[in-house]
Structure 1
Amino acid sequence: MIVEEKISAEQFQPAHIDAAKGEVIEKPSLSFWQDSWLRVRKNKGAIVSLVLLVLLILMAFIGPHINHYGFNNQNLTKSNLPPRIPGIEKLGIFDGTQNVGGQKVNLYEQKGIKDYYWFGTDSLGRDLFTRVWKGTRISLYIAFLAAAINMVIGVAYGAISGYYGGKVDNVMQRIIEVLSGIPDLVVVILMILILKPGILSITVALSITGWVGMARVVRGQILKLKSQEYVLAAKTLGAKDGKIIFKHLIPNMASVIIINTMFIIPSAIFFESFLSFIGLGLEAPKASLGTLIEDGYKVLRFLPYQMLFPAAILSIIMIAFNLLADGLRDALDPKMRD
């Protein structure tokens, strides 16, 4: 059975289009940084790394003050105690027990110690929890110092070299070639001979050679950007060279600077830890993650926890910074966008 459907004459009328709504943008406009942040949020690895880094930075400052132990308080009667954490000890882990002569012994009960040492103690009876977070603070200081040196010296040097070009660029690049030809380890040893082992010698060494890589990257970007129309317009309007460099050119390559800085930070942390591990870092009683790993390495077979905690925190910091740098590169680099 065929049902006839009647079509009214109104359905044949042309649709009414409001010309005023034709230019309306339904989706809100986003700036470059807002769009980049949305892209970073989609990267779960970068967000988890950012959260971990924030927690580690907070613990580096508040961790040494959580308990009443000083980072250099020595008590030989409490030396080499294994980790003991209240509450968790009931689960059979971090309960203060240790294998001695093939038998599981609770050293806290054996020595009559009622205190809790969450990360255990070292050979001098110092609390490792306090020392680990104190060492994390030193390592993070070196990392952010390297970032600051690259952001200030490296960016300014590379921008000036690339913008002026000619003889200025030729002389400045020869200086960079001389500095890059000197190994960082040699520079640190020279600073130790002139000064003494410690943060100051590492700081001076980073200030001498740590910015070379960033300067080369910035110079290459400046050579590409200085021929753009907006630079020519600024020159036509009478803008000075300094204003063109720091107000027009550098802001336009902020993403490149941020990405390279984020990759430099874990390298600086590893560099400081390596120096401390081979004995060219901090002097006792100060501690960094490198010195703590070096101390724990000596007793790794018998007291593995003394190396486990600083090595784990160092690994988390380096992996988190690398994952965050990858996320920022994907979000900020136009070539990496889908």
Structure 2
Amino acid sequence: MTDITTAPVAATPEMAGRSLFQLAGIRFRRNRAAMVSCFVLVAIALFSFLGPLFVSHSYDQVFPSYVTIPPSLEPRPDSASLQDVVESVASRARVEVRAFAVEGQRFTVTIAADEPIDPRATRYFDRANEFDATEVVSTGEDGRVLTLEGSVQREYFPFGTDPNGRDLLVRVMLGGQISIAVGVLASLVSLGIGVVYGATSGYLGGRVDNVMMRLVEILYSLPFVFLVVVLVVFFGRSFILIFLVIGAVEWLEMSRIVRGQTLALKRREFVGAAQALGLTDWQIIRRHIIPNTISPVIVFVTVVVPKVILLESFLSFLGLGVQAPLTSWGALISEGANNIQSAPWLLIFPAIFFVATLFALNFVGDGLRDALDPKDR
């Protein structure tokens, strides 16, 4: 007999499986517009929340010497304007400027008067935004002549200043913080309420669905501004109240979207199998209905965020939202629109960030819609 040896068969390598969300993530990363928009949103968020850490100015700091100045990358004041500043300070101190010189970041000025000059006259120079740490280095003519030295305070205003002399760069950063925070928090409030409410209404159906939807329609009929006015009167104007009120209104539309998705899901086979296994209604809603409505909900949230930002801007314009010295992109745009002829930069810079955020959110929403679309799998 011939001995036939069988060669061992090589084991077939196991194929790593991918979940539906992993496949959706791959499709989303292939969408260049959505990925670029994600980077834009991250850049704007870092600019708004981390930018103030690298700027020496505060959002409510006023520079009386720099009121409504145009944007520039050059330090202010320049050497040519310092002479006028010294003359202005000297007139307020009721002294005469005999000599003035600037070397780097230091200045030297000689002032004179008919009577002995009080050394406290240096305070007039320190009160100006351009000078700091002024001190008397020499006296002459029985105190009627003083030589002062100090440092020149040079400031940078790449976005210019507003009519109150505040740095617009820092104001735009603060506006981004409030607008983004209100948009995200209000969207989370509407997401939490709307998803649970809509899934419960759609799954239970019958009279419960009828009553719950009639309640939504009644709330739809209430004037939004009137509701905000009533809440502001009772609880006062605050940042927390803004996103709570907006979120409490935006959940109505969210609930109707989730209800429509639930009506289509409740007749699917997996829901019938869950019922056959004895799961309660709440368990089915929590484990099967809500997770399967995530795709349209995520896409809808990208639409809600810019809508909430617009609503917050509208409330601030009416005096019911963020109040000075706090601000938002909407409030800055409203202020810039009033000064568009004399100071167009007050409108241009906040509008650029506002429009860029809206476009980025829309592109991200389109990318999520394409990635999560079951027909595209």
TM-score tier after normalising by the smaller chain length: 0.7 to 0.9
Which stretch shows the higher mean deviation, 204-213 or 245-254? 204-213
Q: Secondary structure at the match of 1:141?
A: helix
Check conservation: 1:191, 1:204, Cα contact below 8 A. no
CA shift at 1:198, angstroms?
4.4
Match of 1:128 in 2: 168
Residue 344 (structure 2) pairs with residue 301 (structure 1) = no
Q: What is the rounded CA distance, in whole Å, between the counterparts of 1:36 and 1:228 in structure 2?
A: 22
Q: How does 1:169-184 map to 2 (within 5 A)?
A: 169-184=209-224
Q: Secondary structure at the residue paired with 1:78? A: coil
Deviation at 1:204, TM superposition (A): 3.6
The CA distance in 1 between the partners of 2:202 and 2:83, in whole Å, is 68
Task: Please list the CA deviations of residues 237-280 of structure 1 after superposition, one character each: whole Å capped at 9, or x if unmatched.
Answer: 22122111011111112111111111111111111123223443
The answer to which of 227-236 and 245-254 deviates more is 227-236
Alignment-derived partner of residue 206 in structure 1: 246
Q: 1:72 Cα deviation (Å)?
A: 0.4
Aligned with 2:195 (options 119, 143, 155) = 155
Higher helix share: 1
Structure of larger gyration radius: 2
Q: Quote the Cα distance in structure 1 between the aligned partners of 2:47 and 2:225.
A: 30
**Partners of 2:314 and 2:330 within 8 A in 1:** yes
User: Is 1:47 aligned to residue 87 of structure 2?
Assistant: no
Output the CA distance in 2 between the equivalents of 1:307 and 1:209. 29
- Give the structure 2 partner of residue 316 of structure 1: 356
What secondary structure sits across from 1:116 in the alignment? strand
User: Is the Cα–Cα contact under 8 Å of residues 81 and 96 in structure 1 kept in the other structure?
Assistant: no
Q: What is the rounded CA distance, in whole Å, between the counterparts of 1:253 and 1:333 in structure 2?
A: 12
Provide the C-alpha distance between the structure 1 equivalents of 2:318 and 2:252, rounded to a whole number of angstroms.
25
Cα–Cα, structure 1 residues 262 and 108, in superposed 2: closer, same or farther, change >3 Å?
farther
Q: Give the RMSD, CA atoms, in angstroms.
A: 2.5
Aligned match of 2:21: 33
149-158 or 197-206: bigger deviation = 197-206
2:159–2:167 CA contact under 8 A, matched in 1: yes
Are 1:64 and 1:129, in contact at CA under 8 Å, matched by a contact in 2?
A: no
Q: Could you tell me which residue of structure 2 aligns to residue 83 of structure 1?
A: 71
Where does residue 140 of structure 1 map in the other structure?
180
| 8 Å Cα contact 1:76-1:123 kept in structure 2 | no
TM-aligned CA distance change 1:204 to 1:37, over 3 Å: closer
Q: How many residue pairs end up in the alignment?
A: 302
Identity percentage over the alignment? 38
Q: Does 1:248 align with 2:236?
A: no
Once the two structures are TM-superposed, the CA of residue 107 in structure 1 deviates from its matched residue by 7.2
Match status 1:168 vs 2:184: no
For residues 264 and 174 of structure 1, what CA distance do their matches in structure 2 show?
23
The whole-number CA distance in structure 1 between the counterparts of 2:279 and 2:362 is: 39
Within the candidate set 219, 222, 230, 2:262 is matched to 222
Which residue identity is paired with 2:279? Answer: A
Aligned to 1:14: none
**Structure richer in strand, relative to its length:** 2
TM-score, scaled to structure 2:
0.74
Q: Is the 8 A contact 1:276 1:294 kept in 2?
A: no
CA distance in 2, matches of 1:324, 1:108: 50
Shift of 1:29: 3.3
Q: Does 1:59 align with 2:50?
A: no
TM superposition shift of 1:76: 1.3
* Separation in 2, partners of 1:173, 1:327: 31
Distance 2:20 2:163 in 1: 54
SS in 1 for 2:198: helix
Question: Match for 1:332: what amino acid?
Answer: L
- In structure 1, what residue type is equivalent to 2:198? G
Mapped to 1, the partners of 2:194 and 2:10 lie a distance apart of 51
Alignment equivalent of 1:287, drawn from 307, 318, 327: 327
Query: Deviations 1:162-210 (Å, cap 9, x if unpaired)?
Result: 1111111111000001111234333333333434444344234224321
In the alignment, is the contact (CA less than 8 A) between 1:108 and 1:114 conserved in 2? Answer: no
Report the Cα distance in structure 2 between the residues aligned to 1:162 and 1:24, rounded to whole angstroms.
Answer: 45
Q: Deviations over 1:204-244 (max 9, x none)?
A: 42243210111001111111111222112212222122111
Q: 1:66 to 1:152 in 2, by over 3 A?
A: same
Separation of aligned partners in 1, 2:212 and 2:182: 26
Choose the corresponding residue for 1:69, options 49, 57, 61: 57
Distance 2:20 2:334 in 1: 45
In the alignment, which residue of structure 2 is the partner of 1:103? none
TM-score by length of structure 1 reads 0.82
CA distance in 1, matches of 2:359, 2:60: 29
Is 2:297 the counterpart of 1:257? yes
Q: Is the 8 A contact 1:142 1:272 kept in 2?
A: yes
Contact 1:80 1:121 in 2 (8 A): yes
Contact 1:163 1:245 (8 Å CA) reproduced: yes
Cα gap change, 1:32 to 1:109, in 2 (>3 Å): farther
Structure 2: gaps (5+ residues): 1-7, 86-129, 131-152
Query: Paired residue for 2:91?
Result: none
Distance 1:108 1:185 in 2: 50
> Structure 1: which 5+ runs fail to align?
1-17, 90-94, 98-105
C-alpha contact (below 8 Å) 2:190/2:248 kept by paired residues? no
